[in-house]
Amino acid sequence: MYLAASNKCFPELTFEAALPKLVDLEYTRIEIPFHEADYGIRPSDVAQDPERAITACRQTQRLTPIAFDIQINATGNDHYSQFSAICAVAKATKVITLIVRSGDLGTPFNAEVEHLQQLVDIASTDGMVVAIRTEAGKISEDPDTVKVLCDHIKGLAVALDPSHFYFGEMAGRSYEPIIPYTQHVYLRDTNKDNMQVRVGQGDVEYGRLISLLAQNKYSRALTVDMQPMPDVDQMAELRKIRLLIESLL
């Protein structure tokens, strides 16, 4: 296991401007967001000019890209075209893990299976792995449903965000059944009332999480994905969680 951070930790900065912040914090690996937002690389732009995206992913100031977090706004064929273009960037930059969101609650199960199957088929052609992110308000909020999806769609993996099982209606649900399917992990501190609290003030059991992952021979990223909080030094919080997790590895 190794530590990484997401560019989304600095949503007020452009993709390029956030990189030196993570370098200063002594992170060495990065998850790159492909979002239609200033802090990410826009999927719509990638489809038009994949070479520019490849260059951006290579010029990361000594930070090694380890995963792409993908949110595509386009629908229909345009969605899959943009995803295919991002896969080409992943192949060129030797990134294996592609994180996607599941459909909202209420999305027909068969339609979700068909959609995820198409993404897996596109990605697996070049050896990439699609991982569905666990997230409240989505089909993936229920670990049992996620397990069924992974069993049904060969090659589909999980991007585990434990916070969603410590906060809100899903608090207390066990994520252990999907640990064997886990390809990527997100970290922040959380309690039942707040999705994010200051490091050390929440309920996330980092030691237990790392132990469960180790038992399943997990050897990939633990990615810090923390949003800035009012009147809290974001740099200090990101440094604190880095030191905490490194002490447990």
Separation between Cα atoms, residue 144 and residue 142, nearest integer Å:
5
Torsion from C-alpha of 17, 63, 35, 54, nearest 10 degrees = 100
Separation between Cα atoms, residue 200 and residue 206, nearest integer Å:
10
Can you give the residue range of the structural domain that contains 126? 2-248
Specify whether the CB–CB gap between 159 and 132 falls below 8 A.
Answer: yes
- Total count of domains within the chain: 1
Q: What is the CATH number of the domain that holds 128?
A: 3.20.20.150
The pTM of the full predicted model, rounded to 2 decimals, is 0.93
The pLDDT profile of the chain, 249 residues, written as one tens digit per residue, is 999 999 999 999 988 899 999 999 999 999 999 998 878 899 999 999 999 999 999 999 889 999 999 999 999 999 999 999 999 999 999 999 999 999 998 899 999 999 999 999 999 998 999 999 999 889 999 999 999 999 999 999 999 999 988 887 777 889 999 999 999 999 999 998 899 999 999 999 999 999 999 999 999 999 999 999 999 999 999 999 999 999 998
Cα Rg, the chain, nearest whole Å:
17
> Which pLDDT score, from 0 to 100, does residue 12 have?
92
> Which pLDDT score, from 0 to 100, does residue 126 have?
87
- Hey, CA dihedral for 68, 75, 85, 37, is it positive or negative? negative
Specify whether the CB–CB gap between 164 and 188 falls below 8 A.
Answer: no
Q: Using alpha carbons, select from 17, 16, 18 the residue that is nearest to residue 225.
A: 18
Length reported for the chain: 249
Separation between Cα atoms, residue 217 and residue 232, nearest integer Å:
35
DSSP 210-223: HHHHHHTT--SEEE
For 189, 192, 221, the CA distances from 100, given in Å and listed in that order, are 22, 25, 16
